[in-house]
Amino acid sequence: MNLDYIIPNNWSILEEGFNPDLVESSESIFSLGNGAMGQRANFEETFSGATFQGSYIAGVYYPDKTRVGWWKNGYPEYFAKVLNAPNWIGIKVLINGVYLDLHTSTKVSNFKRELNMKEGWLSRSFEAVLPNNVEVKVNTKRFLSLDLDEIGAIKYEVTPLNGDAEITFEPYLDSGITNEDTNWDDKFWDTLNVSHDNHQAFIQAKTMKTDFYVCAFMESEVFIDGKTLLIEPKIQADATTTTFSYKHKVKQHQTYGIHKFGGYTVDRNHPKVELVQAAKTALKKATDFGFDTLLTMQKDAWAKIWEMADITIDGDVKAQQGIRFNIYHLNQTYLGTDASLNIGPKGFTGEKYGGSTYWDTEAYCIPFYMATKDQSVARNLLAYRYNHLQKAIENAEKLGFSNGAALYPMVTMNGEECHNEWEITFEEIHRNGAIAFAIFNYHRYTGDYSYIPEKGLEVLIAIARFWQQRATFSTHKNKYVILGVTGPNEYENNVNNNWYTNYIAKWCIDYAIENIARVEKEFASDYTRIMNKTRLSQAEIEQWKAVADTMYFPFSDEHNIYLQQDGFLDKELVTVANLDKSQRPINQKWSWDRILRSPYIKQADTLQGFYFFEDHFSTEELKRHFDFYEPFTVHESSLSPCVHSIQAAKLGQMDQAYTFYLRTSRLDLDDYNHEVHEGLHITSMAGTWMSIVEGFGGMRIKNNQLSFEPKIPNQWDAYSFKVNFRHQILKVMVSHQDTKFELDGNEDLSILVHGKTVLISPNNLVSI
């Protein structure tokens, strides 16, 4: 743990006291989002201290030209950048001729910040003495509406404390913004038009190259002690900004307030030429409701989300705050309402990692969305990959594959690969496995087989083709091998026979064959359509089988474990416990070669396979592998602690499970990895959810039934969660005494608890 300034609270993220060094971290932690847009918790007023300004629009990115030291064949021509979008939140505050700026204020006191997760808003209050000795009290509140997802609303209030003051609110729009993620200060936006109409202003801009058209807009109203003031603003505009000035002489202790509504209309939702009109429509709705009504609606909308998605933890406020923080940000990032979007690893909180879609979606996020939303959301996430199948086939062709083999991109925005490290782009091919696994997982959980004949089978076939072509036969080993890969543990590159990769490759082929047979039998017309489209022959399937049946899995007789890769045992097997703390995190301290030859594991790799394919291995095998690998694991990937928490819980190592749970759930709140200022780890937050539901709750699907093995950490009194299982909602309440189940639905539900069948009837609390 490297930061501990966030005040524990069940429902809110709280910060007290102003520390300029923490501004960038808090900008990440207190971020807002509503699925369509999001923004870091930048101050509305001027701030001349260190800040990372960021406002992001879902689906808007920039394909930056690949620039590498040495070009390698197959590199994608571009890599996607998450783009900082025109600023609409800014309100400069001029007080007796001096701009309010916490960095230049001579005194800042009673600084408080709250991210109210229950109701979905961010507030801030403080008192400041300006360089001209004017003392003011400031209260702000801001939210991004879930109901009107093109709209954000800000209430900003200033009260002069030591005399009358002439105060000017200067709400503005600014498209002259820069990106944090740029080495060479490029501009990514063309501003097309800056205009205004009464109290409204608009900046139409488009991204360079990708030509995403966006209209940033704003409308403001000012108040004195809560009463509307009719001030005609002074309007100033230049090529990339427009500023409205509302000047007023404010008496001591009077409160001068402004409501600013703003946001974006984008050409994903409207015709390009109607973006201003759409903005006017959105503003009309927002101002008709007004700030307070919109805020009430916001509370209601979040209440609905929490009603389904909340996890309660009694007796451990930090743990409670952690899980809600994770669930909150997941819902800020992706609500499942737009099938063309996906879940970026930093959501709307930063720019790192570029693209929006990693294997994180399939491996970590789908279980969360499957259980806390309508199953159509998970189906949409699967369909996203189906819609990109042709591009995945083209991507594989660039790497020399043929005959419809698909390699899904490691990182993408639109189906094309947009990452350019060869060891990742070309070699971290296990991602294909997670995409197939998600299809399996979706069917297993929802029972909805229809997706497979409809769409999934084509994906499975293309992936099986890839694995068959990618494996090579080693006469030396008399087995099929997969050479030159990067496994989930990205701290090893270009290794041979990564166990996880080989295992999921074999599984993908077996699973494809199994489904081909089932679709042939049960969905004849789909079968014919797919066979015609893919031109798959029995002879080809035999080739697949040969690979799957003769796959090599590195194994150590000495340790009685599968080896993470062929060369693992040649490493100096010094555990993390013996690694000096000054060397952590190694990805910030060590050169890449040193990391690669070390035994240190970034994230679950072999254990990730044991997580996916739990049924294939005994608990004793799991324990041996956990005991062997965990001591070498530095968990410098956000995706690591959750899987370890689940596995530790399964092994009954509850203290370890709890430690990993805290690490995954408070990864960003406590900044375990020294990087929260760059943004939050959104996708791993779904892993946090899994660590409770699957880890402590022990939830699985067994024989087409929900199954639980509830456990509870000593540190907790009780916890509860809900899952949406096949259109019924099951609430699970675990305490040290018992586990209670309550079903919200229409039909009896047969579940397994510690292996025994239990029948749950709707609205009938069952205690086990």
Describe the strand order of the beta sheet including 312-314 as a list of residue ranges. 312-314, 718-725, 728-735, 739-744, 766-767
Q: How far is the CB of 429 from its own copies (least distance, A)?
A: 8
- Under the rule (CB under 8 A), what is the footprint of its own copies? 65-70, 72-74, 79, 183-184, 398-400, 419-424, 426-427, 472-477, 481, 483-484, 493-497, 558, 566-567, 569-573, 587-594, 596-597
Q: How far is the CB of 72 from its own copies (least distance, A)?
A: 4
Cβ distance to its own copies smaller for residue 240 or 395 = 395
Cβ distance to its own copies smaller for residue 44 or 678 = 678
Cβ distance to its own copies smaller for residue 107 or 589 = 589
CA distance linking residue 627 with residue 205, whole number of Å: 55
User: Quick one: 465 exposed, middle or buried, by C-beta within 10 A (0-12, 13-18, 19+)?
Assistant: buried
Q: How far is the CB of 599 from its own copies (least distance, A)?
A: 10
What's the 3-state SS for 19-35?
A: CHHHHHHHHHHCCEECC
What's the 3-state SS for 655-674?
A: HHHHHHHHHHHCCCCCCCCC
Q: How far is the CB of 76 from its own copies (least distance, A)?
A: 10
Q: How far is the CB of 69 from its own copies (least distance, A)?
A: 4
Q: Could you give the count of Cα atoms lying within 13 Å of 140 in the half-sphere of its Cβ? A: 25
Catalytic, out of 24, 170, 490, 742: 490
Cβ distance to its own copies smaller for residue 475 or 618 = 475
Instruction: Find tokens 């009464």 and name the residue.
Output: 198
CA distance linking residue 103 with residue 244, whole number of Å: 24
Give residue 698's region: left, alpha or beta (phi > 0; psi -120 to 50): left
Q: Could you give the count of Cα atoms lying within 13 Å of 277 in the half-sphere of its Cβ? A: 7
Q: Could you give the count of Cα atoms lying within 13 Å of 490 in the half-sphere of its Cβ? A: 19
Cα angle 522, 526, 532 (rounded to 5 degrees) comes to 130
Cβ distance to its own copies smaller for residue 19 or 575 = 575
Instruction: Find tokens 């229950």 and name the residue.
Output: 118
Cβ distance to its own copies smaller for residue 324 or 431 = 431
Instruction: Tell me the CA distances in angstroms from 328 to 12, 135, 321, 347, one per residue in order.
Output: 10, 35, 10, 12
The 10 Å Cβ neighbour count of residue 161 is 15
Cβ distance to its own copies smaller for residue 28 or 425 = 425
CA distance linking residue 710 with residue 768, whole number of Å: 10
Q: How far is the CB of 34 from its own copies (least distance, A)?
A: 30
Question: Going by C-beta distance under 8 Å and a sequence separation of 6 or more, which residues neighbour residue 59?
Answer: 212, 266, 268, 338, 340, 341, 356, 413
Q: How far is the CB of 363 from its own copies (least distance, A)?
A: 21
149 is written with which tokens?
């997802």
- Check if the beta carbon of residue 544 is closer than 8 Å to that of residue 513: yes
User: Quick one: 93 exposed, middle or buried, by C-beta within 10 A (0-12, 13-18, 19+)?
Assistant: buried
CA distance linking residue 599 with residue 516, whole number of Å: 40
Q: How far is the CB of 597 from its own copies (least distance, A)?
A: 4
Cβ distance to its own copies smaller for residue 192 or 569 = 569
CA distance linking residue 504 with residue 612, whole number of Å: 9
The 10 Å Cβ neighbour count of residue 550 is 15
Which residue, among 393, 327, 389, 381, has the nearest Cα to 356 in the 3D structure?
A: 381
Work out the angle between the directed axes of helices 499-522 and 457-470 (0-180°, nearest 10).
Answer: 140
- Check if the beta carbon of residue 120 is closer than 8 Å to that of residue 302: yes
SS3 assignment, position 78: strand
Q: How far is the CB of 437 from its own copies (least distance, A)?
A: 22
Q: How far is the CB of 482 from its own copies (least distance, A)?
A: 9
The H-or-E segment that residue 15 falls in is strand 12-16
Q: How far is the CB of 586 from its own copies (least distance, A)?
A: 9
User: Quick one: 237 exposed, middle or buried, by C-beta within 10 A (0-12, 13-18, 19+)?
Assistant: middle
CA distance linking residue 146 with residue 151, whole number of Å: 8
Cβ distance to its own copies smaller for residue 270 or 419 = 419
Q: How far is the CB of 412 from its own copies (least distance, A)?
A: 14
- The verdict on whether 490 is a catalytic residue reads yes
Which residue, among 367, 346, 385, 435, has the nearest Cα to 58 in the 3D structure?
A: 346
Cβ distance to its own copies smaller for residue 183 or 746 = 183
Catalytic residues: 490
